[in-house]
Amino acid sequence: MLEASLVLPLFIMFVFFFIYMVQMTLLSTRMHAAASNAVKQVSAHIYPIFLAVQAADKKQDDPFIQADDGERQTENGTFPSISIKDWADAYASKLPSPFSDWIMAAAEKGQEPIDQLKTETAEAVLDPVMKPILEPFLDEAGLELERVHVTRVIVPDLKTGKTPYFGIEISYELPIRVPFTYKKVVIQSKSVERLWIGDTDELNASDGADEDSGQIVNPVVLEKPNPAYAGRRAVIKAKISPGGSAVLTVYYKSGKSIAKYLGTATADENGIIEWEWLVGGNTTPGNWQFVIETPEGGKTVSTFTVESPNSGD
């Protein structure tokens, strides 16, 4: 009886732990399926938004979709034409939100309607925009909508077509808590899909060249950690074209960093772009690499040093 009383609690805890692991695996699989299906839906419906951005920004008229109402004379005769806004109104009415809103924004403002998501990291901003897309797939997967939060959105460059990828990263709060500490258990899933907008020749780096020099402009590193300390914040600043975007990727011994606030950021009117992130407390000291890339094909590779926090005291 004494041996049973000592072993039985441990056995019960192991059984519950096994059940939790199985449940976590099932929920993770469902999360990935929901995120993947939502991203595919966006990629499939992005083409009319891409057309609206291209037509509004570059002022390239189509025989049947023009910037001004009237008629267009072609070799085959005269055809009635409609404005970009009228076309957007007719098409947007057949699509659910937020696709309809994105089409209208592209037609009216002549800019990427999802530009505002590039630098947003707050769930309060991303959730209202992306959850309507996720909701049907979450219901199908048997996941609770209120437990899901959108932590990151990978936004395509619809103007140049050089980064034709859309992706979302979601987190899910499990209905279980860490024993004794009662902390939340959160799992994450990420999915990225190429847009269904045809060949944009994104692999041809020459199209990303500077118009004046004919050369690709690489980001210039203005500031980097010297050194960075494990468990503390680090900052990298660079200079690119004003208002442009760039992606920062950091590589440690363990591989690519998944720290929050890395990834895509937008430069200010002076072309200054900045990333600030938390270096993991378990990061191995040493010299590690980071890469800054722009949609036009510019790329800069550099290194920085990570030291133990005790060495900085």
Same domain, 186 and 294: no
Same domain, 56 and 147: yes
- 200 lies in a domain? no
Same domain, 297 and 183: no
Q: Considering 194, 224, 245, which residue would you say is the last residue of a domain?
A: 194
What integer pLDDT is reported at residue 57 of this predicted model? 60
Same domain, 177 and 214: no
Dump pLDDT digits (tens) for 240-268. Answer: 988 888 899 999 988 888 888 888 888 88
Dump pLDDT digits (tens) for 54-91. Answer: 776 655 444 444 444 444 444 444 444 556 666 666 66
Q: Domain limits at 278?
A: 205-312
Contact 165, 192 (CB under 8 A): yes
Same domain, 176 and 290: no
Same domain, 50 and 125: yes
Q: What is the CATH number of the domain that holds 291?
A: 2.60.40.1930
Confidence band, pLDDT 50/70/90 cuts, at residue 207: very low
Q: Using a CB cutoff of 8 Å and minimum separation of 24, what contacts does 51-55 make?
A: 52/84, 52/87, 52/88, 52/103, 52/106, 52/107, 53/106, 53/110, 53/111, 53/112, 53/113, 53/158, 53/159, 54/158, 54/159, 55/84, 55/107
Same domain, 152 and 222: no
Q: Considering 151, 168, 194, which residue would you say is the last residue of a domain?
A: 194
Looking at the structure of the chain, the number of domains it has is 2
